[in-house]
């Protein structure tokens, strides 16, 4: 039995949630998000609470029960507070630069890497070596932050590369330690 799927979601007063034609729409002060519902999972709104139930106990239905509940919770949090992910770049000459709707990354390659910032997201430059990705869609924020990190993942010997603000990179000794 899914504990997350059975969790009741309370709707804040500043948010409106509607369910129609197998689609959940959440509107708040920061924007609007919508999500398709699996055909075997039901979403009901009573008073200021959302309840997610399932029709049967098949494996896919059980998986989607908890997932849908968590996604609706993230949508409500996104339109009220928003999500952010901080990244930092470490290395000599490595830096971030935000130019309009593109993020330019100098990460030790022979050319700067340019990434287009998706619509619905904003990238704030804290300093030359730190940025913050902000948006209302948790999945989109995480996906774009992962794309930025993949430009130059942190390496374990010197620690150079792009990492999340709260990420710990385990360091290794060099060849001289093996002798």
Q: What is the pLDDT of residues 72-120, one digit of tens each?
A: 999 999 999 999 999 999 999 999 999 999 999 999 899 999 999 999 9
Q: How many helices (H) and strands (E) does the chain have?
A: 2, 13
- What three-state secondary structure class fits 27? strand
Strand order in the sheet with 102-106: 95-99, 102-106, 113-116
Q: What is the pLDDT of residues 150-162, one digit of tens each?
A: 999 999 999 899 9
Work out the pLDDT band at 18, boundaries 50, 70, 90: very high
Residue 179, pLDDT > 60, answer no
- Spatial contact of 91 and 151, defined as CB atoms under 8 Å apart: no
What is residue 101's predicted lDDT score, i.e. its pLDDT? Answer: 93
Distance, CA of 14 to CA of 76 (rounded, Å): 10
What's the chain's average pLDDT? Answer: 91
pTM over 0.85, yes/no = yes
Which of 11, 16, 51 lies closest to 25, judged by CA?
16
Work out the pLDDT band at 176, boundaries 50, 70, 90: confident
Residue 173, pLDDT > 90, answer no
Distance, CA of 85 to CA of 132 (rounded, Å): 6
Residue 140, pLDDT > 60, answer yes
Residue 123, pLDDT > 80, answer yes
What is residue 137's predicted lDDT score, i.e. its pLDDT? Answer: 94
């Amino acid at each position: 039995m899914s504990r997350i799927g059975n969790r009741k979601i309370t709707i804040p007063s500043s948010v409106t949630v509607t369910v129609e034609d197998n689609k959940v729409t959440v509107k708040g002060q920061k924007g609007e998000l919508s999500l398709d519902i699996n055909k075997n999972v039901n979403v009901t709104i009573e008073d200021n609470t959302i309840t997610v139930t399932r029709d049967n106990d098949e494996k896919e239905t059980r998986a989607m029960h908890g997932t849908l509940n968590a996604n609706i919770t993230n949508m409500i949090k996104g339109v009220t507070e928003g999500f952010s992910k901080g990244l930092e770049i470490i290395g000599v000459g490595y830096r971030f630069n935000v130019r309009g709707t593109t993020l330019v990354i100098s990460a030790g390659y022979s050319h700067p890497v340019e990434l287009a910032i998706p619509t619905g997201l904003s990238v704030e430059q804290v300093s030359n070596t730190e940025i913050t990705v902000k948006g209302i869609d948790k999945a989109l924020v995480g996906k774009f932050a992962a794309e930025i990190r993949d430009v130059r993942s942190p390496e374990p010997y010197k620690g150079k590369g792009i990492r999340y603000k709260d990420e710990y990179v385990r360091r290794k000794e060099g060849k001289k330690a093996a002798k």
